[in-house]
């Protein structure tokens, strides 16, 4: 198998944590993609993933799988013992519910904030180019507020249970953790009075599958190139 990604970015970090959790790192060839140089928007890469985003999993038979949730599902079921996506109907339902909320209420709004309310990855890679800067910036700021509201929501969730989807670590935890890393890089802070979320984050950061694999939302050289 091959993984096309860029180490240190939020969605690639999600899959690297999954690979570590499932002990599959040795079975994967990592192929770096130059996000800053817009390699993921090139015609060659778009043949792998028409959406032009990372990561992408290439199977040995030439099949390409994109979208982090789909990749996680595939990797989690390879050994027939899913641990991150749920083993029972109830577990699967709860995990997928919270996974969707983690995307819609945190990591996706952080991305919108980053691309529209900050310099982001530069003009070449920004979406909504037809909008004037003020329009894009206002949209981005609203998404930043949504992301921080999402943080408050997950804090309330974690006040009553140890993990995002219940009693066990799952892909929903990985997504929220990556979303907070992305928020750090974008300059969005966790709201005050979020002690449960802060404590959960510190605990997740020490997991063997997470430690030394997530890093910061951006590598130092990428941050310098972006002027962050």
Check pLDDT > 70 for residue 130.
no
Same structural domain for residues 129 and 214?
yes
Check pLDDT > 50 for residue 184.
yes
Q: Which domain holds residue 180?
A: 89-226
Check pLDDT > 80 for residue 120.
no
Query: What is the per-residue pLDDT for 134?
Result: 61
pLDDT tens digits along 56-75? 999 999 999 999 999 999 99
pLDDT band at residue 160 under the 50/70/90 scheme: very high
CATH of the domain at 44: 3.40.30.10
pLDDT band at residue 37 under the 50/70/90 scheme: confident
Query: Which position has the token pair 């997991």?
Result: 207
| Domain presence at residue 112 | yes
Q: Name the average pLDDT for the chain.
A: 89
The mean-pLDDT minimum among 18-32, 126-140, 146-160, 188-202 falls in 126-140
CA distance 155 to 194: 6
**176 Cα distance to chain centroid:** 8
Same structural domain for residues 117 and 172?
yes
Residues 129-135: what's their mean pLDDT? 56
Residues 163-187: what's their mean pLDDT? 96
Same structural domain for residues 72 and 110?
no
Check pLDDT > 70 for residue 227.
no
Query: What is the per-residue pLDDT for 137?
Result: 86
CA distance 108 to 100: 10
Residues 17-33: what's their mean pLDDT? 96
Residues 197-226: what's their mean pLDDT? 72
Check pLDDT > 80 for residue 186.
yes
Per DSSP (E only), the strands in 11-153 are: 29-32, 56-58, 64-66
Note the pTM of the prediction, 2 decimals. 0.89
Same structural domain for residues 65 and 132?
no
Query: Which position has the token pair 């699967």?
Result: 92
Query: What is the per-residue pLDDT for 121?
Result: 59
Query: What is the per-residue pLDDT for 48?
Result: 96
pLDDT > 70 fraction of the chain, expressed in percent and rounded = 86
Residues 6+ apart with CB under 8 A from 81: 87
| Domain presence at residue 113 | yes
Domain count, the chain: 2
Residues 6+ apart with CB under 8 A from 191: 148, 151, 152, 155
Same structural domain for residues 147 and 198?
yes
Same structural domain for residues 64 and 94?
no
Same structural domain for residues 170 and 100?
yes
CATH of the domain at 125: 1.20.1050.10
Q: Is 114 exposed, middle or buried (0-12, 13-18, 19+ CB in 10 A)?
A: buried
Check pLDDT > 70 for residue 222.
no
The answer to whether the CB of 2 falls within 8 A of the CB of 58 is yes
The answer to whether the CB of 151 falls within 8 A of the CB of 198 is no
| Domain presence at residue 151 | yes
| Domain presence at residue 82 | no
């Amino acid at each position: 198998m091959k993984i096309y990604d860029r180490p240190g970015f939020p969605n690639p970090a999600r899959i690297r944590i999954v690979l570590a959790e499932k002990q599959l790192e040795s079975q994967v060839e990592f192929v770096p993609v130059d996000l800053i140089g817009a390699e993921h928007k090139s015609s060659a890469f778009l043949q792998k993933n028409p959406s032009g985003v990372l990561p992408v999993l290439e199977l040995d038979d030439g099949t390409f799988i994109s979208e982090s949730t789909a990749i996680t599902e595939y990797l989690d079921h390879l050994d027939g013992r899913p641990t991150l996506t749920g083993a029972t109907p109830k577990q699967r339902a709860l995990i997928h519910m919270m996974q969707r909320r983690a995307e819609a209420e945190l990591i996706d709004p952080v991305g919108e904030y980053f691309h529209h309310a900050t310099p982001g990855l530069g003009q070449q890679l920004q979406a909504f180019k037809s909008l004037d800067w003020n329009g894009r910036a206002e949209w981005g700021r609203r998404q930043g507020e949504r992301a921080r509201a999402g943080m408050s929501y997950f804090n309330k969730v974690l006040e009553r249970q140890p993990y995002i989807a219940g009693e066990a670590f799952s892909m929903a935890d990985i997504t929220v953790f990556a979303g907070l890393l992305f928020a750090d890089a974008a300059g969005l802070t966790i709201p005050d009075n979020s002690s449960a979320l802060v404590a959960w984050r510190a605990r997740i950061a020490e997991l063997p599958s997470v430690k030394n694999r997530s890093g910061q939302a951006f590598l130092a050289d990428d941050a310098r190139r972006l002027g962050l």
